[in-house]
Structure 1
């Protein structure tokens, strides 16, 4: 019986910042060996396993891609058996250090074990059993979460549509240090570009041209005066934000510029969006959306409370329903109609850092939480 620490070690050691194939191979092989579920590997590399039939579906969801490691996180030389790059792993003071420990291979390992154990422990029903099936239980680990939800979007397009999902992104330390909470909403991110066009002229004859930078600054004034949506969720105020992050324009000191671009970072909340389209009321100004990662809000209070109850039973602390500032694959699932909550071992500030780590106790807690959720479902 693998421990969550052992499985996390194995999974984290596999490099997956440029190519998730080897990590997906490991997950797929493990599920085929350790479970009797129906396991598929789709065209983009997602690994999805299902057990049970009929009724609604509950899924444990994660991703096995990671961001590029810091030089100190990448092991010198390749694995002697596979020839693949590997990551440095270090265990100290009750934590496991390495790229992907927090975001989010530790939670994927916990979900794999909970999925296996729930399948083993689930009561069997023979032909003579006329009770209604409890439903389907699924596990999914996606690729491409760090680059816009590539895997989640593909899976959804191919029919992956669980009614409920527990997404194992970080929710530890939100209500109080060391407590693994249950997030019922998170922000999204919309990145966009404002393009201002004008007419070039020599700067000695300002009136002969139209200054694109002036039009762009008029657009900035509009952006700064837009109302930013916010809402109350789980007793917290979830606020969006909107800011200009880059500007580029002009060709020379003595030329009236005919082109200027602004980039906008917008954090969105479920419901309304900031009315950025209003900048197009300015002559010569256009607005385009470059990326739109959707926000998430769980619409089923009973499901959220059931997961909270499982999390409470799995730890000595007192977890709460909270909100999360970061976009995750839960947003894509929620957009497709899945009621999602987020429950995972990572703490704020751990993901994507040069000394990324995860609490081993939190990993055990997540495994137990997922097991309890599955047990209640099956």
Structure 2
């Protein structure tokens, strides 16, 4: 192997001791679209391995770094390394390399992953370097394949392969929340609804039965459905039920004999996937319904003393998380969990994804205060 080949394969050296906003820029500049997280995982591993106060475990492109101080309480700080694909539209600000601008918020960092969620990962890494003696033991989890199908999840794989490394009293997932604690998350479930007809030439439509027309009642029921808001442990979770995809027909002169609609139901964490399925089936009685995917939600996770102390440190009223996040996996494993991270979740996956530099710094400061405050 030549010297140039060796240099090309060496991981990027991350600066964990400098400005956490500049560390975010470094992370954005390492492209890590799902299925291609390895260069970023290599850089994170190299940075963590240089910290003598941590033990580091790698599983594929996921990493777990832990303090082992014998504290009576263990906290998990978690974040995913992958992003959705880079924008393709002309003039997009979300491409690699990262870019900066300035406005009334101060310096603003643009790039894929700025909010979802390299700002949060930068906070994790900066804390891992700065906190050799935190007031609680800390487990830092960095995982791959969050932005794709659930069965690929690096966090799920860690729970299968090394669950002993993920034990804890309370977990924080650094997904973007605009610096406010968002408790738990809604669950999600998907169905395929199918209607059948009889094909015929469209010039002799009376000889057939139109399966697309047969879907009209399903679509009407979904259109008039009014989502409910459910109070769960003091937080109000708004549900939603929608058709998200439709297909049917084979040609412009053929009466379609088959039509499918995909339905997505986001349900409050007071119910599980089976309860959610029963709800949808009751709304669409008599239709052919196939459950294709489901993930349970998570209750707010705010009753644990560590959670209460963290909310007090942040100093803002907690909110519910409407979307599904991996707090569900922690909750299912018996670890209460919340979402807390820099950036606006509404900007995630957009072509102008960005985060104010100060938002990343503020997130770091809040967690640093909490993990260094006298017991």
1:196 and 1:24 map into 2 onto residues whose CA distance is 46
**Partner SS for 1:186:** coil
How far apart are 1:244 and its partner, in Å?
A: 1.5
Deviations, residues 74-99 of structure 1 (Å, cap 9, x unaligned): 77xxxxxxxxxx52332533222221
**Partner SS for 2:263:** strand
**Does the CA contact (< 8 Å) of 1:234 and 1:322 recur in 2?**
no
From 57, 61, 81, the equivalent of 2:78 is 61
1:148 and 1:117 map into 2 onto residues whose CA distance is 34
The 1:255/1:68 distance shift into structure 2, 3 A limit, reads closer
**Partner SS for 1:62:** strand
Q: Does 1:372 align with 2:364?
A: no
How far apart are 1:147 and its partner, in Å?
A: 1.2
Q: Which residue of 2 aligns with 1:219?
A: 218
C-alpha RMSD of the superposition: 2.9
* Structure 1 residue runs without a partner (length 5+): 76-85, 124-133, 173-179, 313-318
**Does the CA contact (< 8 Å) of 2:245 and 2:261 recur in 1?**
yes
1:94 and 1:205 map into 2 onto residues whose CA distance is 62
Q: Which residue of 2 aligns with 1:7?
A: 23
Q: Does 1:99 align with 2:112?
A: yes
* Structure 2 residue runs without a partner (length 5+): 1-16
How far apart are 1:324 and its partner, in Å?
A: 2.5
TM-score, normalised with respect to structure 1: 0.79
2:339 and 2:234 map into 1 onto residues whose CA distance is 17
**Partner SS for 1:231:** strand
**Partner SS for 1:47:** strand
**Does the CA contact (< 8 Å) of 2:80 and 2:143 recur in 1?**
yes
Q: Is the strand fraction higher in 1 or 2?
A: 1
TM-score, normalised with respect to structure 2: 0.80
**Partner SS for 1:34:** coil
**More deviation, 230-239/148-157:** 230-239
From 279, 287, 290, the equivalent of 1:288 is 290
How far apart are 1:223 and its partner, in Å?
A: 4.2
From 147, 151, 156, the equivalent of 1:153 is 156
**Partner SS for 1:110:** helix
**Does the CA contact (< 8 Å) of 1:61 and 1:141 recur in 2?**
yes
**Does the CA contact (< 8 Å) of 1:103 and 1:352 recur in 2?**
yes
How far apart are 1:46 and its partner, in Å?
A: 0.9
How far apart are 1:332 and its partner, in Å?
A: 2.3
Q: Which residue of 2 aligns with 1:129?
A: none
Q: Does 1:26 align with 2:43?
A: yes
Deviations, residues 102-157 of structure 1 (Å, cap 9, x unaligned): 11111111112223322x1247xxxxxxxxxx6x4200011111114512221222
How far apart are 1:26 and its partner, in Å?
A: 0.9
